Chain A
Amino acid sequence: MAQLQIQNLHVEFGGLRAVDNLDLTVEEGEILCLLGPNGAGKSTTLDLICGKTQPTGGSIRFQGTELSGLLEYERARCGIGRKFQVPSVYKELTVAENLSVAQSRHPGMWRALFTFGRGDTATQRRVLERVGLAEKAGVKAGNLSHGETQWLEIAMLLTQDSQLILMDEPTAGMTIQETEKTADLFRQLRGSHTLIIVEHDMSFVRRVADRIVVMNRGAKLAEGSVEEIENNAAVKTAYLGH
């Protein structure tokens, strides 16, 4: 059985069908890239999976559990992590503290009350070295550059270590080298984690995607391997706007 099964999902915002009868399955350990023109409903789809938005209909099953009706924190505890399109880190906290927050294998309140200090700093340091922020552990996240902020949020998701990671435009604002590094990092996660990545950069998508789903106006337009999508006539029209 697929790890994530979405059936008949739809959501309306005041008459606008942002997601319209979407069906989607994602297998454990694969990297799925979600493409589509602006306003296609990609971010909204991720919002529906992680609980930020409530659907008007349809079902989302993750590892056999029906997610609708679960609150955001309950879905996170099921093993779903989310990186937002607008990098969202805690600007008032240091880089290291951001990772401590993200380290949430035991997110209970009582447990937190009886835990003194930063938690597992060895893991945190390893993750920071991996994304190249080891030098900045003590810096306030608000003082990082845009690219570094993206890295920090990615580092937070690595620390959170969810089975299913939802990445919304992780390479936006990165240099070509940084984008390549991100691609390498994500490929290392393949197999142990499932990733759904929303991305516009096709060279990045070619490097990481196992499979691509293209959305347009809230619905699924096409699905397939990288070559299949690149040669799909309907996709070309949607992007060129005919």
Chain B
Amino acid sequence: MTRKLSYDLLAYAAFAAVIFWLVPTLYAYDGFELNTFARYLSLAIVAMALALSWGTAGLLNLGQAATFGIGSYAMAMHLKLRASDGLPDFMGWNNVDTLPWLWVPFESLTFTLLAGLLLPAAVGGIIAIFMFRARIAGVFVAVITLAFLVAFQLLVIEQQGLTGGQNGLTGLAPLNLFGWSVDTYSVGFYYLVAACLMAALTIGIYVSHSKFGLILRAIREDAERTRFFGYNVSSFETMVFCISAALAGWAGMLYTLVLEFASPTYMSVSFSLAIVIWVAVGGRESVIAAAIGAIIVNALEGRLSDVFVEGWNLMLGVTFVLVVIFMPRGLFGLVTYLAGAGSRLRQSRQDSPKTSAPIGSAPHAQGGR
């Protein structure tokens, strides 16, 4: 086992202990408090999804909110149908008198759960195929995905009869998960979201330690070189976009459950940029770090945005700029740097007696760096 994998597994275990045991204990198993934390955890999933494409492959997807939104609307459509007797109320207000064909299959929970994963993956995949076949890379990926997000949100708002327009989908029924009626303010629901996050992180860690993940890192550094080893770079890039989009859709489904409504603001540019900030703060090279970044920033927002109602967005922006300038690898980079410095220091302590150099001479100076 490589050293890096064992570190990742250690971090994974510690993180699991924190969200399964420490957090519920700190909140005294209070369902209301844990509901707030479940919201952070679902956002952590969309952050780790972005870390996969951005951190591993270097593809900055600014349209992540679109695939997140598709997942959240998929879940909301199902719950809206459960809550309505026949036609959902907003359709009547918009002179829609029969259930649109797009809505019909969402009667089924199994279909909904699959659609919440596969529709985002398909949308992400189609955009990716067009971009990466044409060898679009770097900042152009960000521009194109951002343009897609803007167009997509407009479309969703415009199609009022289908999507509820600006209001989104509200008045949802609670989820009935194969016989378990999910109470969003219960400890059980918190554990459901936490388990989903751990599953998503498992996928993320698997992907980054597979040969696939290694090739993605090679592509991030030099896509051109990688082609000369026989790798079809665009198919790798497309696949990581699909995986990332599916995870974002998954996060979106959970988010609808937590907040009990779906809104077009989930597909806004500012939300998409916020995801980028969380990942940058945590560290884009590690899926766990990205998840932690999302939790930290959102928890801070929960505390501080009450105090500084207007100033919060400004503070978030400033934090982002500071992180990019002073901590380009995020908290993850800081931790690995400190760990590295620690082991270098230990190394130099061990080395110095052997080299029997006078105290304060070269080996110390070198190790102290």
Binds A, one of B101-109, B184-192, B211-219: B211-219
Given contacts A109-B232, A113-B239, contact A101 B210 (CB under 8 A): no
| Per-residue contact bits, chain A 46-89, to B (CB 8 Å; 1 contact, 0 not) | 00001010000000000000000001110011000110100010
A72 to B225, CA, bound (A): 10
Interfacial chain B residues near A88, Cβ < 8 Å: 222, 225
Cβ of A116 within 8 Å of any chain B Cβ, yes or no, is: yes
A101 touches B226 (CB 8 A): yes
Q: Which of A92, A100, A102 contacts B211 (CB 8 A)?
A: A100
Cβ of B228 within 8 Å of any chain A Cβ, yes or no, is: yes
Q: Which of A97, A104, A119 contacts B230 (CB 8 A)?
A: A104
B212 touches A113 (CB 8 A): yes
A73 to B223, CA, bound (A): 11
A150 to B235, CA, bound (A): 29
Cβ of A204 within 8 Å of any chain B Cβ, yes or no, is: no
A118 touches B210 (CB 8 A): no
A101 touches B229 (CB 8 A): yes
A190 to B218, CA, bound (A): 30
| Per-residue contact bits, chain B 167-200, to A (CB 8 Å; 1 contact, 0 not) | 0000000000000000000000000000000000
A234 to B230, CA, bound (A): 39
Give the shortest distance, in Å, between A138 (CB) and chain B (any CB).
8
Interface size on A, residues (CB 8 A): 34
Closest to B3 in A: A138
Interfacial chain B residues near A112, Cβ < 8 Å: 210-212, 214-215, 231, 236
Interfacial chain A residues near B206, Cβ < 8 Å: 116
Within 8 A of B (CB), among A93-133: 93, 97, 100-102, 104, 107-109, 111-119
Interfacial chain B residues near A109, Cβ < 8 Å: 212, 231-232, 235-236, 239
A118 to B213, CA, bound (A): 11
Interfacial chain A residues near B98, Cβ < 8 Å: none
Q: Which of A50, A81, A90, A116 contacts B209 (CB 8 A)?
A: A116
Chain B interface size range: 20 to 34
Cβ of A207 within 8 Å of any chain B Cβ, yes or no, is: no
Interfacial chain A residues near B226, Cβ < 8 Å: 101
Cβ of B221 within 8 Å of any chain A Cβ, yes or no, is: yes
Cβ of A91 within 8 Å of any chain B Cβ, yes or no, is: yes
Cβ of A160 within 8 Å of any chain B Cβ, yes or no, is: yes
Interfacial chain A residues near B232, Cβ < 8 Å: 73, 107-109
A101 to B230, CA, bound (A): 10
A107 touches B231 (CB 8 A): yes
A111 to B236, CA, bound (A): 11
| Per-residue contact bits, chain B 223-257, to A (CB 8 Å; 1 contact, 0 not) | 01111111111011001000000000000000000
Cβ of B2 within 8 Å of any chain A Cβ, yes or no, is: yes
Q: Which of B210, B222, B229 contacts A102 (CB 8 A)?
A: B229
Enumerate chain B interface residues (CB-CB to A < 8 A). 2, 206-207, 209-212, 214-215, 217-218, 220-222, 224-233, 235-236, 239
Known: A104-B230, A109-B232, A109-B235. 9 other contacts (CB 8 A): A76-B227, A90-B217, A91-B221, A101-B215, A101-B226, A101-B229, A104-B231, A111-B211, A112-B211
A-B contact pairs, 7 of them (CB 8 A): A90-B221, A93-B221, A101-B215, A101-B218, A109-B239, A112-B210, A117-B211
List 7 A-B pairs, minimum CB-CB distance, nearest first: A76-B230, A107-B230, A115-B211, A72-B227, A112-B212, A112-B211, A113-B212
